[in-house]
Structure 1
Amino acid sequence: MSKAFFPKLAIDNIKNNTKTYVPFLLATIGMIAMFYDLCAITFDPALKSIRGGTHLGMVLSFGIVIVSIFSLVFIFYTNSFLVKRRIKEFGLYNILGLEKKHISAIMFFEAIFSLVISLIGGLVSGFLLSKFMKLLLAKIIGNIAGFRFEISTHGIFFTVLLFSLIFLLTYIYTVIKVYRSKPIDLLKGSNVGEKEPKVRWVYFVFGLLSLGSGYYLALTIQSPLQAFSTFFIAVLLVIFGTYALFIAVSIFILKLLKKNKNFYYRIENFTSISSLMYRMKQNAVGLSNICILSTMVLVVLSTTISLYVGVDSVLKNRYPLDVVIVSMVQNEQEMFEKKEEIQMVLKETGAKALDIDEAVKTSFYLRQDGNQLIDEYTGFENNVFGGVIPLDYYNALYQTNYELEDNELLIFDKDHLFTQPELIIMGKPFYIKQEIQSFGKKGDLEVVLGSTVGVVVKDVYSFASLVKQPKNVEDSPVSTKAEFHYQFNIDGSKEEKIAVVNKLNAMFKNQGLDMYADGIENSRDEFNSLYGGLFFLGISLGTIFMMATVLIIYYKQIQEGFEDQKRFKIMQQVGMDHQTIKYSINKQVLIMFFLPLLLAMVHVTFAFPMTSKLLMLFGLADKVLFVLCVMATVIVFAVIYTIVYVITSKVYYGIVKH
């Protein structure tokens, strides 16, 4: 055989299988383009010069890892479909005299040509999209300065390296599969059907338990940190449960329908149910993949959109006023001295403070043990963050006239952590005089890891000396001393407000004053970079997951179309008309399409409590906003999903009809 024989045959094979190869190559090109663009942005030196660029770089690096793993899994999955469609062809080669090493050589050149086409198409697309992606990211984070619109050598290197390795692994896997098969197995490969499956009760029970456990974890989460620590466990349980239920429950339902003779022995129902029963195991796995990918699209997009849209809400919760100056104080006299120093420095800046709010506050982070708060820190479980404000501040704020003794307190406990009348804090008993329904101003009780309570006491200074930080926690950002908070608004532009805060901090440092200033505008770029980066990543991952979902659906329809072709031809020969066949096809395709979408919506609904808690880790506690974002995402996704259904059902019917 000439050296050109195998490459030529490989090219002919790709041309002859365009219906399956072209979608695969297009999807791979899309993934390569997306991966390159993520790398190009992440490795752009200008990223370091952007305010918040460190956070943005971390987010994008995380995205690169996710896309890498997903690309590996997805290309392996789609390659298995391509190989299965052509396994009979390989068997024919073997019968005609080609050895398995010759078949391996053909597959090698097919892999090489596919890789080259994918890399060229993906990198060129990535180059063309790079400017758009950088402009999109710059628009999202509100900062375009510094981005360079040029080809990234780092991006090219890592893209070529990753996808070359993936194609190499898929080639090795395929060769091993061919070498382990006998010629007769290869000839029968694509025609090996499955017997009518029995209900797998182990899968059935496992699916119910797994899915039920995942849902239970999602619904019973009490704190953001619990959500973070159990999220991946719940996700794995739901994934396992989805596969098991699709495999077992779908067969169980179809068998019930088959037993209903009045329903089953109608022509349109008979063909649909028998067709689904014939290959239900593979259908179930495909439907599970579609369901899981759909859930990923909905969760990723809805959460990242919520964070991006809610960034102003997060900032307002953290910074009720434009500027806050914080100083550590131990008594009232020191507080007045600090206040005078602040006013003097503020006067030197020339800024006019408006809507001044001042108060002495403190906080604690302790572990709950029944009605006690202790300093035995054993991890994040059962830990409680407490914001503490003085009684006179609370009474002035809410126009109340509560009175407290030294051993009494008011408590804001929305999670109902403490139900007994006595609360013991660091060994000292306090009597809960009243449970209040509101606490301080925004920012007094920040969204933090674990549960939160608000406490009102008579003397903040003595309380601050009581609550000591857990002994084995180092460098904790939570202060246990009393803090004097001096907050105010400023008239002026964003740049002017940033300048005031910077000037205040410089003057505090020069004068040796133990205090610092912070402002909403100083933090806005950091938050925009973090949340904008997450939103950008959500768009990128959502696009990739959507593309994978569409391709899996398309391949599923082609596979089912070819498998049902002969059966429906027989139905036509025995007298079934085209209208009845089309009705049967539509019913089958409807089930295969919209069952995964419906279950994905159920998954998202049960995941809502957990995902909303996860958003609280990022400071977003606006559940109404999150609900609206979830609903909007579901509606848009359902519309796109329906369009895909209309297109692929025509492809399926076209294959069957011919």
Structure 2
Amino acid sequence: MKIFNMAFRNMKSNFKNYWAYFLSCSFSVFVIYLFMSIVFNKNIQANLGGVKKFIILFNLGATMIVVFSAFFIWYSNSFFIKSRKKEFATYMLLGMSSKQVSRLNFLENAIIMVLAFVTGIVFGLMFTKLFIMLLYFMIKVTSEVSFEYNLKAIKLTSEIFAGIFLLIAIHGAILIRNSSLINLFNASKKVERGVKVSLLTVVLGVASIVCLGYGYYLAAIKMPNDFFKVPIVIALVVIGIVLFFTSTTSFVIHINKKNEKKLYKGTRLISVSQLYYRYRGNIGALSIIAITTTVALCALITCIGSYSRCEKNSRYMRPFSVEYFNTKAADKTFEDILKKHSKTEIKSKDEIKILNLTGVEPNLKQDGKFYVINESAFNAINAHQNNERRAKLNSSQDCYFVEVQNFVSGAKVINKEIKIKLKGKEYNMKITGSDFKPFIALDHFDETVVVKDSVFNELIKNSSKGSVINIKACVIKDDLSSKDFSYDLINKMPKDSRVVTFYDHYADGLKLLGMMAFIGLFIGALFIMATGSIIYFKLNMEAREDKSKYKTLMKIGVSKKEIKKSVSKELMILFGEPLLIAVISACPAAYALGKMLLLDVMKSYVYIVIVYTVIYLLYYFVTLNSYIKTIEE
């Protein structure tokens, strides 16, 4: 009981050093409980309908949060023990055994974890309904959400955090029991070693710039056309970031310390000297924060960017509102369903006749299957889809080539020749225009050659009946409101019609991308809270070690205002550098992802960077205020 009271008093008196850690742990509990509540919620499973399998995304998101939370708590606990070794040594000097000190540390961790768990669960119970409503809003599902508590979610969350706590408790006990009294005292004696600079540092610094520069170049220019460059880009950027923090920044700090003309101006001597001796011990943490923040930014940009472009992506995949292979049974069923939905207004109809023929591919120079369509039909289809694309063929030898998306620019096939083979005869066509946007649903689409009407009529006369494909397609006015009509078509049309609708693809895509965006928001929030908290309590602990230095400075005449200015510069670099490197590294990655996924994600990039910067600034000012208070005590 005495040890418990002692642990409780320690936590109470030093809570300002632990609040960020406590906050991040509580948020981890809250998010895991929220995700598990969604997984076990039968109402959500029913509303997901045909894409119920995507509930696995929440399991994946929860797993990522558990892994990151475990790493964060492990790292934090190791740092806390290291920073308190002198305190533990004092307890042992006063008569406590290493077993009792381990028990004290165990109880302090238990108090934090229990409080964090209770806080996270309480907030989970309070706000789960609100966030499920937000999820429904994002995936455009209209359903009532009732308040409920989920015992399965609470049980699983408690088991996960009990496992994490057990690991850190064992780890903490091992660290304390394996340290002798003299080692515990000596551990608190900080050996101040400045950044180490040599010729190798310069070489590695240059290598970091080369790795980052070449990685950014590959990401922005090469990666969109070659997916296999992704592992190379990741390796170059990670190596570049690590070398940048270990060598480039160290060299810049060293140069600033050697620049005596500027060194003695104002408080520059204090801030530069502090960085010179402080930076070396923070290299590992700053590198990890920069890398994880880059990953978090890229994930968020992809999730939010994809969600914001869901409608446009669906219209690319299925440019018609409804499309099916033409049969008498399919036509009759379609008309019957249309009569049933009297509010559904058909804006345009197209009866599309396509030839499925053999030809020689212009790039690979090998035989393959092609669709062939006439110019007037192709242009009419584009007009009905409000698409400005038109085929303008001047002679019977000209053609327009619609490629399958393969990350190869359409300009590369311009003026090349494509051969169409039919009953032993070859038609040599010159490609005068090209793109890779499907004009029918991608489900039915293949590479297409657009030819003059006269050439098409000749081809259709000489082709067999089996090579002719008849497709009926229509554009519905306000097809975003065609949910019931679309579902009736999917469920009642004959299977051989292979009917597809825009709304069906849009609804499924919205659910998938909405879930990804929802998960991404919480994972991103957890990342930034954890990384901000790591910097906060690391610098706050270091402030306690620096109290004597600043006390000496104040005795020799340095004002509190000057000390605050010096500390603010030091902390701005330690907070700002990882964020700046992450923002720069995420930019070419976002550009490449946008091109590969046919998305315009740069707006999402700007908004997410602004939000991240604002949150980091909040952590910066809180840390600065806490740092100043600590050294002034």
TM range (shorter): 0.7 to 0.9
CA contact (8 A) 1:47 1:53 kept: no
CA contact (8 A) 2:352 2:471 kept: yes
State the AA in 1 paired with 2:212. L
State the AA in 1 paired with 2:40. F
Q: Does 1:421 align with 2:416?
A: yes
- What's the counterpart of residue 536 of structure 1? 518
CA contact (8 A) 1:322 1:489 kept: yes
Secondary structure at the residue paired with 2:430?
Answer: strand
Shift of 1:276: 0.7
Shift of 1:516: 2.5
- What's the counterpart of residue 336 of structure 2? 348
CA distance in 2 between partners of 1:444 and 1:542 (Å): 35
- Residue pairs, 1:129-140, within 5 angstroms: 129-140=127-138
CA contact (8 A) 1:557 1:651 kept: no
Please list the CA deviations of residues 9-28 of structure 1 after superposition, one character each: whole Å capped at 9, or x if unmatched: 32233223212223212210
Larger deviation: 233-242 or 387-396?
Answer: 387-396
Equivalent residue in structure 1 for 2:532, among 530, 533, 550: 550
CA contact (8 A) 2:418 2:430 kept: no
- What's the counterpart of residue 450 of structure 2? 456
Shift of 1:91: 1.6
CA distance in 2 between partners of 1:30 and 1:355 (Å): 52
Please list the CA deviations of residues 369-418 of structure 1 after superposition, one character each: whole Å capped at 9, or x if unmatched: 9643578xxxxxxxxx987644553466636344446x977466635555
CA contact (8 A) 1:318 1:442 kept: no
- What's the counterpart of residue 245 of structure 2? 246
CA distance in 2 between partners of 1:425 and 1:174 (Å): 73
Structure 1, unmatched stretches of 5+, are 328-337, 376-384, 467-479
CA distance in 1 between partners of 2:603 and 2:132 (Å): 28
CA distance in 2 between partners of 1:657 and 1:556 (Å): 18
Secondary structure at the residue paired with 1:279?
Answer: helix
State the AA in 2 paired with 1:586. S
- What's the counterpart of residue 148 of structure 2? 150
RMSD of aligned C-alpha atoms? 3.8
CA distance in 1 between partners of 2:52 and 2:308 (Å): 21
CA contact (8 A) 2:334 2:493 kept: no
Q: Does 1:288 align with 2:290?
A: no
- What's the counterpart of residue 621 of structure 2? 646
- Residue pairs, 1:83-482, within 5 angstroms: 83-145=81-143, 149-199=147-197, 201=201, 204=205, 207-208=208-209, 210-212=211-213, 214-223=215-224, 226-227=226-227, 231=230, 234-235=233-234, 237-326=236-325, 338=327, 342-351=330-339, 353-361=346-354, 371-373=364-366, 389-391=373-375, 393-394=377-378, 398=390, 400-404=392-396, 410=401, 414=409, 416-418=411-413, 421-422=416-417, 433-438=430-435, 442-443=439-440, 455-456=449-450
CA distance in 2 between partners of 1:219 and 1:100 (Å): 56
Please list the CA deviations of residues 62-105 of structure 1 after superposition, one character each: whole Å capped at 9, or x if unmatched: 21111111111111122222222211111222323333222222
CA distance in 2 between partners of 1:123 and 1:32 (Å): 7
Larger deviation: 300-309 or 600-609?
Answer: 300-309
CA contact (8 A) 1:409 1:431 kept: no
Larger deviation: 95-104 or 286-295?
Answer: 286-295
Equivalent residue in structure 2 for 1:61, among 52, 59, 62: 59
CA contact (8 A) 1:210 1:240 kept: yes
Q: Does 1:575 align with 2:557?
A: yes
Q: Does 1:502 align with 2:477?
A: no
Shift of 1:445: 6.5
CA contact (8 A) 1:291 1:599 kept: yes
Larger deviation: 238-247 or 364-373?
Answer: 364-373
CA contact (8 A) 1:67 1:541 kept: yes
CA distance in 2 between partners of 1:164 and 1:524 (Å): 41
State the AA in 2 paired with 1:152. N
CA contact (8 A) 1:395 1:402 kept: no
Structure 1 residues 282 and 606: alpha-carbon distance in aligned structure 2, compared to 1, 3 A threshold: farther
Secondary structure at the residue paired with 2:494?
Answer: helix
Structure 1 residues 214 and 401: alpha-carbon distance in aligned structure 2, compared to 1, 3 A threshold: closer
CA distance in 1 between partners of 2:619 and 2:305 (Å): 26
Shift of 1:264: 2.1
Please list the CA deviations of residues 442-495 of structure 1 after superposition, one character each: whole Å capped at 9, or x if unmatched: 5567999xxx976436669999xx9xxxxxxxxxxxxx9764331113458867
CA distance in 2 between partners of 1:125 and 1:504 (Å): 42
CA contact (8 A) 1:52 1:525 kept: no
State the AA in 2 paired with 1:273. V
Shift of 1:539: 1.5
Shift of 1:38: 0.5
CA distance in 1 between partners of 2:444 and 2:292 (Å): 31
CA distance in 1 between partners of 2:102 and 2:13 (Å): 18
CA distance in 2 between partners of 1:374 and 1:399 (Å): 24
State the AA in 2 paired with 1:319. R
Q: Does 1:585 align with 2:583?
A: no
CA distance in 2 between partners of 1:368 and 1:90 (Å): 75
Q: Does 1:488 align with 2:470?
A: no
Structure 1 residues 501 and 532: alpha-carbon distance in aligned structure 2, compared to 1, 3 A threshold: closer
CA contact (8 A) 1:246 1:288 kept: yes
Structure 1 residues 487 and 277: alpha-carbon distance in aligned structure 2, compared to 1, 3 A threshold: same
- What's the counterpart of residue 48 of structure 1? 45
Structure 1 residues 535 and 52: alpha-carbon distance in aligned structure 2, compared to 1, 3 A threshold: farther
Structure 2, unmatched stretches of 5+, are 340-344, 383-389
Please list the CA deviations of residues 3-50 of structure 1 after superposition, one character each: whole Å capped at 9, or x if unmatched: x23323322332232122232122101110111101110121223312
Structure 1 residues 417 and 636: alpha-carbon distance in aligned structure 2, compared to 1, 3 A threshold: same
CA contact (8 A) 2:532 2:619 kept: yes
CA distance in 2 between partners of 1:131 and 1:42 (Å): 14
CA contact (8 A) 1:361 1:460 kept: no
Larger deviation: 340-349 or 277-286?
Answer: 340-349
Larger deviation: 273-282 or 173-182?
Answer: 173-182
CA distance in 1 between partners of 2:279 and 2:396 (Å): 69
- What's the counterpart of residue 30 of structure 1? 27
Secondary structure at the residue paired with 2:18?
Answer: helix
Structure 1 residues 7 and 395: alpha-carbon distance in aligned structure 2, compared to 1, 3 A threshold: closer
State the AA in 2 paired with 1:271. I
Secondary structure at the residue paired with 1:456?
Answer: strand
- What's the counterpart of residue 330 of structure 1? none
Q: Does 1:632 align with 2:630?
A: no
Shift of 1:433: 0.8
- What's the counterpart of residue 387 of structure 2? none
State the AA in 2 paired with 1:195. R
State the AA in 2 paired with 1:40. S
Shift of 1:537: 0.7
CA distance in 1 between partners of 2:376 and 2:127 (Å): 59
- How many aligned positions are there? 604
Larger deviation: 340-349 or 573-582?
Answer: 340-349
Shift of 1:608: 2.1
Normalising by structure 1, what TM-score? Answer: 0.81
- What's the counterpart of residue 334 of structure 1? none
CA distance in 1 between partners of 2:89 and 2:139 (Å): 55
Structure 1 residues 364 and 27: alpha-carbon distance in aligned structure 2, compared to 1, 3 A threshold: farther
